[in-house]
Structure 1
Amino acid sequence: MDLQERDERRAVAEAAVEELSEIGVVGVVLPWVDTSGITRTKSVPLGKLPSAAAWGVGMSPVFDGFLLDDSIVAGRYAGSALGDLRLHPDLSRLTLLAGQPGWAWAPVDRYRQDGQPHVQDSRSLLRRLTGELAGEGFTVKAAFEIEWVASQAAGLPDDPDAFVPALTGPAYGLTRLIEVSDYGRDLLEALDAQNVVVDQFHPEYAAGQLEVSVAAEDPIGAADTSVLVRATIRAISAQHGLRVSFSPKVTAEGVGNGGHVHLSVWREDQNLMNGGPGTFGLTADGEAFMAGVLDHLPGLLALGAPSVASYLRLVPSHWAGAYAAWGLENRETALRFVTGADGERQSAANVEVKSVDAAANPYLLMAGLLAAGRAGLRAGSTLPEPVGIDPGTLTDEGRRDAGIRGLPTSLEEAVRAFESDAVLTEAFGEELSVSIAEVRRGEIALFDGVSPAGVAAAVRWRH
């Protein structure tokens, strides 16, 4: 980042300050997501935004080694008290927070003091991979589904941190939506005011569970929007006396929250997931991209199912996608191919990655998906036969005969798969790859010997 770019950033911020001050904004939230998937933040008074835009806001690199309980892994490249980084807000995403009057929001990129991107900054990594893919003639449209559970904020008299569902209606039931009618209205109004395009809002399966689906956008935009939507849900929930959890496992016996990702790969104006001669209308490039993701799913789980609690959710016959397989509208395969209705397939066809959850850093996960898909494109990879049944209903022999692999059943297994996946580790670089593995193993050690109920309780209000 040279002086000219700093001056340009300052000028944009100065114009924004003038506009925001007129509508009562006093501070700007500057968030980033750490390696463990927790959104951390600094903030500045509005008048300091030009300085933050040009020169950044200081922040220790120690957060690359943070665990979800705020303990720190002293790793090879992360967790040191030494050094400093600069948080530079991306003012193209500057947003007035409808759920937090007086505040605006802008996600940050983390830079070194010499003006170069920090090698462990996940947002910068995603920007680089998006650009490299564009250089090969491909763009990706993506969106994260946001699932959460709403709880009575007070918990129980003997356990304030207990999950007490704020909704009592049946799964997907209109009764449940009626119970949160005012809450849902305020949430939709807030998201609309923040220019978040909501496709659906509805009750989900688990106790107290709701979901918002948003429109697809570029990969960085999709990750930014997922962070913004979750922050908005928290803010509106607090206004309604509710506590929310995005954890992959809220209670040991319950169904957890997923963080499914929808992807489509494009060349210019053509959706490569549709209009081809392949299975279900896939083009050769659309198939290759999907095949790359499928091939690298074991290692990708260290990014997309990054918590010990993730593997309490990722079990067969729970719509979690526990098998490395794909199928047309099959919610039990890790990759669900979605064509959309007749007449809209050119715009709607996409693949849903189901085996990931909301404990993930969305930038790391999206970067991994792009790296895997790009590897498939470069290799001209092909998909196995689609699976038209729940793989969990087959015997072990039946799955072997069908070429269906089980995905990792523990975080340690996923970390080993990540470390042995040259496509992912080379795309991420040594420092970030090592830190990801160290942070994951730090959480494994944190929960060594802890019961599923204990794990669920410990992570319940962290994500």
Structure 2
Amino acid sequence: MKTSNGSAGTAVEPRPRVLDADPEAGAALAERLRTAGVRAVAMTNVDNGGVTRVKLVPVRRLAGVLRGGIGFSVVWSISGTDDSFAMVAPFDSPAGDLRLFPDVSALERLDGAPGTAWVPADLHTQELEVSPCCQRSALRRVVERGRAAGVEFKAAFEVEMSLLRADGSPGHGGPGYSASALLEVEPFALDLLDALAEHGIEAEQLHPEYGPGQVEFSCSARDPLAAADQLVLSRVLTRRVARQHGFDVSFAPSVRPGTVGNGCHLHLSAWRDGVNLMQGGTDDKTGGMSEDGATFVAGMLDALPELMGVLAPSVLSYARLQPQMWSGAYACWGVENREAALRLVPGTITSRSTAANVEVKPLDGSANPYLAAAVLLSAGLDGMDKAATLPAPVQRDPHTMTKPQRKKAGVERLPSSLGEAIELLAGSETVARALGDELHRAFLAVRRQEWETYGERDHADLAPVYRLRY
């Protein structure tokens, strides 16, 4: 079955604007789903705590939901990872309501599920206007800002996870990247690749990662909103397949203290008139990027410290974000430098014009993917607007540099705790502009409550609490 964007699923037309929703089209879609055996539609929203929330709607109700949405309390704008609420105005009231609207252009039939389809949802007010706290809409606005400037984006996430057996032990014992580790999880891996392909998610590769029980797969590039949707769906599918094989799965940034954590690296490229701006230059100081591509990366690099509260928003993020762990703990960039926060990936000489991109390494699985992409792309556009200057690439491990060497190279350590990241986030005009004041305020409240509640907890005690929350 095919969606309108060519992925596996149910054939639908792009969702009409809420105020113009066609009742007959909604009824026809519901009938097609019923005929295909779909009994209910799972509508998801990734909240400011990084948790994917869901409402399951009977398929017979879908036409009505397309006209008027489904209720979603305003307090979900301040929901934390632990299901607490950061009670700050104007969200701290039992009164009021938002409406979840399914974006049926991204709807997918969950093959192998008992009659369930999945769809990402946008947040609207009761007046059917886009809510200022809609995370998908924040990303959509940034993409439109780029489009108005003649710039298109492509994005691709890497998905790292930890497989856990029923007794909590790792799904494989390593060694990392090894054939013996793959053998332990091969039935799961093959079924996962099949499930991803059946739902239009092109996994470029899958391998056992470095940590105990760790597995990674990477996806092909899409437009940023589709890429974030794809990440959410891929996690839904991964959990389903893992359960069939007796595994739990964690996307948390730190699952076991003292071991490598799970990242969620994001690969980005900017394009103008069909030309990839991450290549095409002749200056070695920019790694061969075009002038516009260099300013795009410079904008992200300049803003990176204040973006960390969005990219690495959990207390446990900073157990992962350590030097010499390939997590990008220093704000610098380099060509194929896996210790740099921004790694330019030129691609091979045969594919450079289409494949060149920059990888954002500090991002982890506790982040809301829509907000992470929104703040990064907005910062990159800021860099292009002001013709930001990119410093020389760092082609060594920045942790081995002396403090004077790092200072001369413009290299700084990224925040080492969520508390530090929050202080930068609170004063960030970059983030406020990308998200809007209301969403910025709600997101900040959630992160502050997490820090105040868990900031002093030992990582060894906290890891089991968060392990299956992400």
- Answering whether residue 197 of structure 2 is matched by residue 192 of structure 1, we say yes
Q: 1:420 to 1:346 in 2, by over 3 A?
A: same
Q: Show CA shifts across 1:253-309 (max 9, x none).
A: 111100110000001210000112333221111011101110111111111100010
Q: 1:82 to 1:269 in 2, by over 3 A?
A: same
In structure 2, the partner of 1:381 is 388
- Answering whether residue 373 of structure 2 is matched by residue 360 of structure 1, we say no
Q: Is residue 28–residue 105 contact of structure 1 (8 Å, CA) maintained in 2?
A: yes
Mind listing any 5+ residue stretches in structure 2 that lack a counterpart? 1-15
Mind listing any 5+ residue stretches in structure 1 that lack a counterpart? 156-162
Structure 1 residues 102-121: aligned runs within 5 Å: 102-121=115-134
In structure 2, the partner of 1:311 is 318
Q: Is residue 155–residue 266 contact of structure 2 (8 Å, CA) maintained in 1?
A: yes
In structure 1, the partner of 2:10 is none
- Answering whether residue 293 of structure 2 is matched by residue 280 of structure 1, we say no
Output the amino acid matched with 2:177: Y
In structure 1, the partner of 2:62 is 49
Q: Is residue 252–residue 453 contact of structure 1 (8 Å, CA) maintained in 2?
A: yes
Taking the aligned partners of 1:399 and 1:147, their CA distance within structure 2 comes to 30
Q: Is residue 206–residue 217 contact of structure 2 (8 Å, CA) maintained in 1?
A: yes
User: Of 163, 172, 178, which aligns to 1:173?
Assistant: 178
Percent of aligned positions that are identical: 43
In structure 1, the partner of 2:463 is 456
Q: 1:4 to 1:342 in 2, by over 3 A?
A: closer
How many angstroms does 1:402 deviate by? Answer: 2.0
Taking the aligned partners of 1:12 and 1:411, their CA distance within structure 2 comes to 46
In structure 2, the partner of 1:158 is none
Moved over 6 A (4+): none
Q: Show CA shifts across 1:90-131 (max 9, x none).
A: 010010112423110110001001011110111011111111
Aligned partner of residue 296 in structure 1, secondary structure: helix
Q: Is residue 99–residue 236 contact of structure 1 (8 Å, CA) maintained in 2?
A: no
Output the amino acid matched with 1:337: L
Q: Show CA shifts across 1:355-381 (max 9, x none).
A: 110100001111101110110010011
Structure 1 residues 110-149: aligned runs within 5 Å: 110-149=123-162
Q: Is residue 174–residue 211 contact of structure 2 (8 Å, CA) maintained in 1?
A: no
The more displaced of 430-439 and 30-39 is 430-439
Taking the aligned partners of 2:112 and 2:73, their CA distance within structure 1 comes to 29
- Answering whether residue 218 of structure 2 is matched by residue 230 of structure 1, we say no
Aligned partner of residue 44 in structure 2, secondary structure: strand
User: Of 214, 226, 235, which aligns to 1:209?
Assistant: 214
How many angstroms does 1:55 deviate by? Answer: 1.0
Structure 1 residues 50-449: aligned runs within 5 Å: 50-153=63-166, 155=167, 163-278=168-283, 279-449=286-456
Q: Is residue 76–residue 434 contact of structure 1 (8 Å, CA) maintained in 2?
A: no
Output the amino acid matched with 1:284: E
How many angstroms does 1:13 deviate by? Answer: 3.1
Taking the aligned partners of 1:121 and 1:230, their CA distance within structure 2 comes to 21
Q: Is residue 246–residue 257 contact of structure 1 (8 Å, CA) maintained in 2?
A: yes
Taking the aligned partners of 1:244 and 1:215, their CA distance within structure 2 comes to 22
Aligned partner of residue 299 in structure 2, secondary structure: helix
Taking the aligned partners of 1:413 and 1:126, their CA distance within structure 2 comes to 25
How many angstroms does 1:431 deviate by? Answer: 1.3
How many angstroms does 1:77 deviate by? Answer: 3.0
RMSD: 1.5
Taking the aligned partners of 1:212 and 1:409, their CA distance within structure 2 comes to 27
How many angstroms does 1:80 deviate by? Answer: 2.8
Q: 1:112 to 1:170 in 2, by over 3 A?
A: same
TM-score by length of 1: 0.95
Q: Is residue 78–residue 87 contact of structure 2 (8 Å, CA) maintained in 1?
A: yes
Taking the aligned partners of 1:386 and 1:79, their CA distance within structure 2 comes to 46
Output the amino acid matched with 1:360: A
- Answering whether residue 27 of structure 2 is matched by residue 18 of structure 1, we say no
The more displaced of 393-402 and 125-134 is 393-402
Taking the aligned partners of 2:24 and 2:258, their CA distance within structure 1 comes to 53
Output the amino acid matched with 1:110: L
Q: Show CA shifts across 1:16-47 (max 9, x none).
A: 32322222111100000000100001011111
Q: 1:79 to 1:363 in 2, by over 3 A?
A: farther
Aligned partner of residue 388 in structure 2, secondary structure: coil
How many angstroms does 1:76 deviate by? Answer: 2.3
Q: Is residue 64–residue 79 contact of structure 1 (8 Å, CA) maintained in 2?
A: no
Q: Is residue 14–residue 50 contact of structure 1 (8 Å, CA) maintained in 2?
A: yes
Aligned partner of residue 291 in structure 1, secondary structure: helix
How many angstroms does 1:342 deviate by? Answer: 0.9
Aligned partner of residue 281 in structure 1, secondary structure: coil
